[in-house]
Every structure is written in C-alpha cells, then in structure tokens.
Structure 1
C-alpha cells in the first residue's frame, strides 16, 4: 500500500529523491541538456509537490508541477525509486498531480524529458501526453522531448 500526499520541496525525503534523480540524469545527458530546477526557490502558491510513501512511510517517489499563473503548468522532477517501479506508481502520481493542478485552475500541462528515458516517455504517453514543440523557457534540444496534455477537453470550460 502506498500513499500520495503533498510535501514541501525542502523536506529531506524530497531532497534525497531529487538528488537520486539528478545523479541518474547526469549519467545520461551533458549538463547543458539537464534542465534542473531548484523547486525550493519557488513561491509556495506556484508549486504543487507530491511524495509517494510506502507502508513504512519511506519516500519512494516524487513529482511536482510549477504553475505558471496563466492556466498552464510544467511537470517537473518526476521520479520513482527503481526498487518500486513496475507498480503503476507513476500513473497514480501523475493523476494526483493533475487533479490538484486542475483544482487550482490549470488546464494545460507541459513537460520536458530526455530522449533516453524511455520508461518516462512511455509513462507520459500512457497518461495522455502528446509530443509538442519546445516551449518557453526551453530551446529545441536534440536530447529533449517536449510533451503536453490538456486537462480540460474544452478550454472554454476552464474560464467558467
């Protein structure tokens, strides 16, 4: 049994997971293609941060959404500890993040991931994300893949 809850990006469990993610990505990509954002520097109202915990309350995964204030957000720092993969925790985490984003007025989510992270790409595709062009603040990068998902099928409903 796992739980998914909101958490501060400065919590030691989160910083440990993000350090593991950074270490992993540094083995795959050069520094200029690793778009690492320090979530602790963002205002609280602009961030959704969630953690997955196992029965023993060990943090085994995390993910965040940076809200842009215009109805869009960017998925960041999604990571599941390798020993807990294969249990659809990624899908559950994305669904929880998306629900919270939508409750805060977010209608479109975007993300950047690396082309070598095939499991992550599959997760995002299974969760309804589709490839798109690079979006600000990114520039096209042959090692990056950009994706987006509309959380509201009819954007006219997002303003009601």
Structure 2
C-alpha cells in the first residue's frame, strides 16, 4: 500500500474523525483519568505539529504529533493508525517522519507516554523498534501503573 505523510492542520473533518476514532479506541483500555488526550484544537497550537498519513485515495489512515517543549525536548502525541491498516508499517512511517522533523528543528530528546496492558502491545513494539527505551516518568505526567514512558536521544546538544 502506498501512503503519503504530510504536516496538516488537525482542524479538518477527516482528521477530527481520525482523532475521534483514536479516542474511542483508547476509552476501554485505561481509566479515563489516565488518558492524556489532546483535543484537535490543542493539537492545532503553535507548539504542536500534526502528521497525517493518507492512502492512495487521500483517505486519512493514521496520525501522530510532535509537541515541542523547552530545552530541545519533544513529545510524541496522538499516535494512531486505523485498524484496517495495522501491520502495514503506517505507524513506523509516521514515527520516522515525526523524528526527522524533530531532528531538523533541533530537538535532542524525544519522550512519550503510552498506556499499559494488552491493548498497548503494538505501540510498545513500534516505539522499541524505532529506538525508544523505557524510562521513568516524563514531563508532568503522574507516576501510575497505567502509564509507560519512553525516550529517545537524538543529539547531545540543541542545534544552533
């Protein structure tokens, strides 16, 4: 399957639908108070870049975001691929695109929070294959049995 990945606004109907599907997918997997979702309006903020994967017909099949923090820190957010395309490396392609833009922007350290449990096995495999390693709590997330944290060092110092 040929896919394209581009930086897009999340304020499009098909991207809103994709994020709604992500939220519905997550709902039964973790307690709501441990689901750290960004709304599409938050995703449209100046500190966040949204990546959308589309199939040959232009249908939105996956998404992910890079939220930039201070001091060269970037956070992977809202990673999702539609169930119909899972196993076809859409998530890997999104993560590669996000990482490439992070490097271009001088991000030196990527982090992410994801859930714990059987519904998150594929996400863990995706992050580990991309060079992320488990780490302690990041940013202002609570330390809980419902979260797993990952990190990936991109460079030793921010680009000048």
- Does 2:104 correspond to 1:95? no
Q: TM-score, normalised by structure 2?
A: 0.92
- Does 2:121 correspond to 1:118? yes
- 2:80 corresponds to: 79
Distance 2:68 2:27 in 1: 26
SS at match of 1:27: coil
Distance 2:84 2:44 in 1: 32
Match of 1:131 among 130, 134, 140: 134
- 2:48 corresponds to: 47
Structure 1, unpaired ranges of 5+: none
- Alpha carbons 2:108, 2:154 under 8 Å: kept: yes
Q: TM-score, normalised by structure 1?
A: 0.92
Distance 1:67 1:88 in 2: 25
- 2:20 corresponds to: 19
Structure 2, unpaired ranges of 5+: none
Q: CA RMSD in A?
A: 1.4
Query: Which of structure 1's runs of 4+ aligned residues deviate more than 3 A?
Result: 42-45
Offset at residue 151 of structure 1 (A)? 1.5
Q: How many residues align?
A: 157
